[in-house]
């Protein structure tokens, strides 16, 4: 099977289970899957567990191979996880940091690899930062560098935890458009955590909606994001209406009488 299949998956921490018996038949290659749900529902825990960074049980099949049976180094060569923020205090040039990430995935330093890095930085709109130090960048610039570090490793499964949180509106659209194009051209599985439901409606191909660590809905954005699911998962009354250009968007009218939290 091509894509990611999740079977009987449980994840969390030594004294607390967060994800309970998650089953997803397939997250397709070449498509963006967005994880939605309120704070504390398990989105970040699920992403870290898919990357092998949290305690987990169950099966993860990526393009026909069971990930949890692989040594961590081999799994890490196929699965790349980008956290919400890069480690602080790293005094490297942007270009150097991405070349280091490239080498970590088996690439070698060469004029060709450096050209690949510069091409990627140009697509991200941050080629002018190539010789800037990481510890001198803004939060949004660091997130863009983190995305470059992830893409240069050519993953089969790309996991992005709130990659838009420090970005302005211009870069939010730019980054999601870039992630969509890279996902298509590389034919990879991409899973993204976002809080803005309208971003999911505009940019996602597939949506998983979580509540209290359980999967509430799984499917296309227009199938998953409904007034009923908004009430059940977020405790709000809302509508999905199309703007003048035909793009659906969520409008919140208020809170449900008895919050579903």
Let me know whether 88 and 203 are in one domain: yes
Burial of 195 from C-beta contacts in 10 A (0-12 / 13-18 / 19+): middle
> Under DSSP, is residue 14 helix (H, G, I), strand (E, B) or coil?
coil
What would the two tokens of residue 236 be?
């709000």
Within 8 A by CB and 6+ apart from 260, the residues are: 211, 231, 232, 233, 234, 235
Let me know whether 187 and 165 are in one domain: yes
Residue 165: predicted pLDDT = 85
Let me know whether 234 and 203 are in one domain: no
pLDDT digits (tens, 9 = 90+) for 107-165: 555 566 788 899 999 988 899 999 999 989 988 888 899 999 999 999 999 999 999 98
Within 8 A by CB and 6+ apart from 91, the residues are: 133, 134, 135
Is the pLDDT assigned to residue 248 strictly greater than 60?
Answer: yes
Let me know whether 233 and 201 are in one domain: no
Burial of 251 from C-beta contacts in 10 A (0-12 / 13-18 / 19+): exposed
Residue 112: predicted pLDDT = 65
Let me know whether 82 and 139 are in one domain: yes
Let me know whether 69 and 112 are in one domain: yes
pLDDT digits (tens, 9 = 90+) for 181-225: 999 999 999 999 999 999 999 999 999 999 999 999 999 999 999
Q: What range defines the domain where residue 132 resides?
A: 4-225
Let me know whether 16 and 49 are in one domain: yes
Let me know whether 242 and 204 are in one domain: no
Please, which pLDDT band fits residue 166 given cuts at 50, 70 and 90? confident
Let me know whether 218 and 245 are in one domain: no
Let me know whether 28 and 68 are in one domain: yes
User: Any idea which of 81-85, 90-94, 101-105, 147-151 has the lowest mean pLDDT?
Assistant: 101-105
Let me know whether 77 and 105 are in one domain: yes
Please, which pLDDT band fits residue 15 given cuts at 50, 70 and 90? confident
- This prediction has a pTM of 0.93
Mean pLDDT of the chain: 91
Let me know whether 107 and 236 are in one domain: no
Q: How many domains does the chain have?
A: 2
Residue 142: CATH number of its domain:
3.40.50.300
């Amino acid at each position: 099977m091509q894509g990611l299949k999740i079977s009987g998956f449980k994840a969390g921490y030594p004294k607390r289970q967060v994800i309970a018996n998650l089953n997803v038949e397939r997250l397709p290659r070449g498509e963006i899957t967005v994880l939605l749900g309120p704070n504390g529902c398990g989105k970040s825990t699920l992403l870290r567990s898919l990357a092998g960074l949290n305690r987990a049980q169950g099966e993860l099949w990526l393009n026909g191979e069971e990930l949890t049976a692989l040594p961590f180094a081999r799994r890490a060569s196929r699965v790349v996880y980008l956290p919400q923020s890069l480690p602080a205090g790293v005094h490297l040039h942007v270009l150097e940091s991405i070349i280091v990430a490239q080498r970590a995935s088996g690439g070698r330093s060469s004029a060709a690899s450096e050209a690949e890095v510069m091409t990627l930085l140009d697509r991200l709109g941050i080629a002018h930062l190539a010789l800037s130090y990481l510890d001198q960048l803004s939060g949004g610039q660091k997130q863009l560098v983190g995305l470059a570090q992830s893409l240069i490793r050519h993953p089969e499964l790309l996991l992005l935890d709130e990659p838009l949180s420090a970005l302005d509106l211009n870069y939010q659209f730019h980054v999601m458009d870039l992630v969509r194009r890279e996902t298509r051209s590389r034919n990879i599985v991409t899973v993204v955590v976002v809080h803005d439901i309208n971003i999911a409606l505009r940019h996602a191909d597939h949506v998983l909606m979580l509540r209290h660590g359980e999967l509430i809905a799984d499917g296309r954005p227009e199938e998953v994001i409904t007034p009923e699911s908004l009430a059940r998962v977020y405790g709000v009354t809302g509508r999905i209406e199309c703007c003048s250009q035909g793009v659906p968007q969520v409008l919140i009218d208020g809170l449900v009488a008895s919050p579903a939290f």
